[in-house]
Amino acid sequence: MQEPVHVRALGAGDVPAMRRMLGLFGKAFDDLSTYVDNQPDDAYLIDLLTSINFVAISAFVGSTLVGGLTAYVLPKFEQRRAELYIYDLAVDAPYRRMGIATAMIEQLKRLAVSRRIYVIFVQADHDDEAAINLYAKLGQREDVIHFDIQPSKSAA
């Protein structure tokens, strides 16, 4: 019988778990160089993990990190409220299809209520059927067009 999954938000004392989460993302997204090769120092990660505008949620089986989710709080200007954007979410391959991603999102939903966040949103690639199926179970689909705009060094 497998050990139960425990899902929780990470905090200041969880830098090692955050580093394991970065490794999980690098492996899951086949992009180790982005997530592993140039990680910030511990002080930066502590600041990030204690920021009111960043959330990291992890899933553990025993002491093994098997899932991770990161999200950013986006304060709004038109009303005193905020949105929450799920930036990355991954579950280690042997633990997929066990409800872990859903459990991490449910934890995020509870955290959102406690922070008075009015909506959580996420993007999925058109060819990522697993992500699309997961998010379709949890929310309403909106078709949008996403553009990446590169910063410029020229004077404004």
Domain architecture of the chain: domains with CATH: 5-138 (3.40.630.30)
Residue among 141, 79, 70, 150 at smallest CA distance from 107: 70
Ranges of the chain whose pLDDT falls below 70: 1, 124-126, 128, 130-138, 141, 144-150, 155-156
The dihedral over CA atoms of 125, 114, 11, 58, expressed in degrees to the nearest 10, equals -40
- So what's the pLDDT on residue 83? 93
- So what's the pLDDT on residue 2? 73
Tracing tokens 């553990």 back to the chain, one arrives at 60
**Six token digits for residue 58:** 């992890």
b/e burial code for range 59-97 (CB count within 10 A of at least 16 → b) = bbbeeebbbbbbbebeeeeeeeebbbebebbbbbeebee
Query: How many angstroms separate the CA atoms of 91 and 97, rounded?
Result: 9
- So what's the pLDDT on residue 153? 79
| 69-85 pLDDT, tens digit each | 999 999 999 998 899 99
Kindly report the pTM of this predicted structure. Answer: 0.84
- So what's the pLDDT on residue 1? 45
**Phi/psi at 56 (5° precision):** -125, 125
